[in-house]
Amino acid sequence: MKTIQAFQPLVALIGLAALLIALVTVAQAVSGLAGFLVERQVVLIVWLAGLLIASVVFAWVVRRTLRRDASRSSLLVMTLTVLGLASPLALMLLQHPAH
């Protein structure tokens, strides 16, 4: 049971990412008829608001999980979650903007 609780942040992260992608897709489909400039602004606003809400929910899940079970297994799973979050950011930083 403790192993399942340790995976809650990772499952929450995957679920929040899927929900955010679905919301942005719906926003793009709804605002698509208004033109490119309107669509771009709507998608950007939905994306930023979704990221803000998702980060708050994710922080709450992480805090709750660590308060319930601060064992070695939960810290290991949390490290895997952080690596999963950091790997796309690290790949993005490797790209040189001039190329």
Return the structure tokens found at 57.
Answer: 């929910």
Three-class DSSP category at 98: coil
Cα-flanking dihedrals φ and ψ of residue 69, to 5°?
A: -145, 95
- pLDDT tens, position by position, 52-80: 888 888 888 878 877 776 677 777 777 77
- pLDDT tens, position by position, 23-51: 988 988 888 787 777 778 888 888 888 88
